[in-house]
Structures are given as C-alpha cells and as structure tokens.
Amino acid sequence: KQEVTQIPAALSVPEGENLVLNCSFTDSAIYNLQWFRQDPGKGLTSLLLIQSSQREQTSGRLNASLDKSSGRSTLYIAASQPGDSATYLCAVDNYGQNFVFGPGTRLSVLP
C-alpha cells in the first residue's frame, strides 16, 4: 500500500530565502504526482502536476521535480514571500489506488 511522507513537518524561514520541501512515496508505480497548497480554513489549490514520464515542472517561482525510481519529489520555492505561508501537500496518483496524500509541510515565511 502506498505511503506518502513529507519532510519537514513545519518550516519557518525569513522572507527572500529559497527553500525546498520534500515528498517521499514508497511505491513507484504512479501515474503522476501533484503539489498543492492549503490556506487555513480553505480548500486545496493545485500548484503543479508532474506526470510519471516527466522530471520536473515549473510555474513562476515554483519548481517541482520527480524521481520516480527513488520515490522522491521536491518542491523548490524561490525568493519566498510572506504570502507563501501555507500548508503544502503532495499527492500521488497510483495504479489502482487513486490519490494518496502526504501529511503536509506547514510553511511560515516571516517578513
């Protein structure tokens, strides 16, 4: 059964810093991996989708990479801003198991 973990659980950084969030999964038989952010009391906003055949995706200051063989994905946030403060979740779309979510990384960017 697929298990998804995220490290760190929480992160606090000063504004302007570049940072990396990590997502690991145990079963490499995935269709794709998706990164989301969730603001308190809100639903999830899709950030990036990486299909299993892809190595990375970029959107603005965000860059997500995928290494299927090692079961890892990273989300790189450049020049962080206070508005980036949120919980970031990764989710993998598995063969025959639908999406499995990680527990999230709670990010605080201090002004």
Partner 1 sequence: GAVVSQHPSRVICKSGTSVKIECRSLDFQATTMFWYRQFPKQSLMLMATSNEGSKATYEQGVEKDKFLINHASLTLSTLTVTSAHPEDSSFYICSAARTSGSFGTGELFFGEGSRLTVL
Fill in the amino acid letter for 49.
L
User: What sign for the dihedral angle of Cα 80, 84, 87, 90?
Assistant: negative
Both tokens of 1, joined, read: 């059964």
Query: Between residues 53 and 111, which has the closer beta carbon with respect to partner 1?
Result: 53
Residue found by looking up tokens 């779309």 in the block: 93
Q: Interaction with partner 1 in 7-46: which residues (CB under 8 A)?
A: 30-32, 34, 36, 41-46
Task: Give 83-110 as a DSSP string.
Answer: GG-EEEEEEEEETTTEEEE---EEEEEE
Please, are residues 86 and 107 in contact by the beta-carbon 8 Å criterion? yes
User: Taking the complex as a whole, how short is the minimal distance between the CB of residue 57 and partner 1, in angstroms?
Assistant: 12
Q: Does 104 bind partner 1 (CB under 8 A)?
A: yes
Report the SS3 class of residue 71. Answer: coil
Told to check if 90 binds partner 1 by CB under 8 A, we report no
Q: Nearest distance from residue 92's CB to partner 1, in Å?
A: 10
- Member of 12, 55, 103, 108 binding partner 1 (CB under 8 A): 103
Instruction: Tell me which of 11, 19, 49, 62 binds partner 1, using CB under 8 A.
Output: 49
Residue ranges that bind partner 1, judged by CB under 8 A: 30-32, 34, 36, 41-46, 49, 51, 89, 91, 93, 98-99, 101-104
